[in-house]
């Protein structure tokens, strides 16, 4: 694994959180994106080499809605940049980690992603992400 790609923060009110983080980091949100398959709306801020992803639920059954219900607002996941997500997923599976998806999924910000269950990572939801270089659909990817 390479550097931390971003830190994901679950928020109840995206507009309020954007205002706070823009002020805190003295920058502006450079990208917002909805990921319908995950039921989330995302907003990205860059501070030096570091990236923050704000996550707001777009539906009641979104994983973010469930997280907010259980834990309230706060750090939701830590994402690590990887060169080869398929190889990294195979390595972690082999090592006994519980992966939340069998195949890489399309995440926000042009990334292929996979989540590692917090139970296998000291209570932290870990996201692997690889830059999606080619815009072609993934093998076996399901639309919708």
- Whether 123 and 78 have beta carbons less than 8 Å apart is answered as no
The contact mask relative to Zn ion for 62-101 (x = CB under 5 A, - = no) is -----------------x----------------------
Instruction: Report the residue number, 56 or 127, with the smaller CB distance to Zn ion.
Output: 127
| Residue with nearest beta carbon to Zn ion | 8
Query: SS3 of 40, please?
Result: strand
CB of 38 to Zn ion, least distance (A): 10
Q: List the x/- string, 28-67, binding to Zn ion by CB under 5 A.
A: -------------------------x--------------
Q: Which is nearer to Zn ion, 4 or 87 (CB)?
A: 4
Residue 7 · residue 15 · CB < 8 Å: no
Rounded to 5 degrees, φ, ψ at 51 are -125, 135
Contacts with Zn ion by CB under 5 A: the residue count is 4
Closest CA to 127 of 87, 93, 77: 77
In sequence order, which ranges of 9-102 are alpha helices (DSSP H)?
14-25, 63-71, 85-94
Per CB under 5 A, residues contacting Zn ion are: 8, 53, 79, 127
């Amino acid at each position: 694994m390479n550097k931390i790609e971003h830190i994901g923060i679950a928020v109840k009110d995206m507009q309020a959180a954007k205002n706070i983080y823009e002020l805190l980091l003295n920058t502006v949100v450079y990208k917002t994106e909805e990921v319908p398959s995950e039921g989330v709306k995302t907003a990205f801020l860059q501070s030096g080499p570091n990236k923050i992803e704000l996550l707001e639920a777009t539906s009641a059954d979104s994983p973010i809605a469930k997280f907010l219900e259980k834990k309230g607002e706060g750090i939701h996941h830590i994402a690590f940049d990887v060169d080869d997500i398929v190889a990294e997923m195979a390595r972690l599976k082999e090592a006994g980690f519980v992966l939340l998806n069998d195949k890489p999924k399309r995440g926000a910000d042009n990334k292929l992603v996979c989540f590692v269950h917090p139970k296998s990572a000291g209570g932290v939801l870990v996201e692997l992400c690889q830059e999606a270089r080619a815009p072609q659909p993934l093998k076996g990817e399901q639309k919708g």
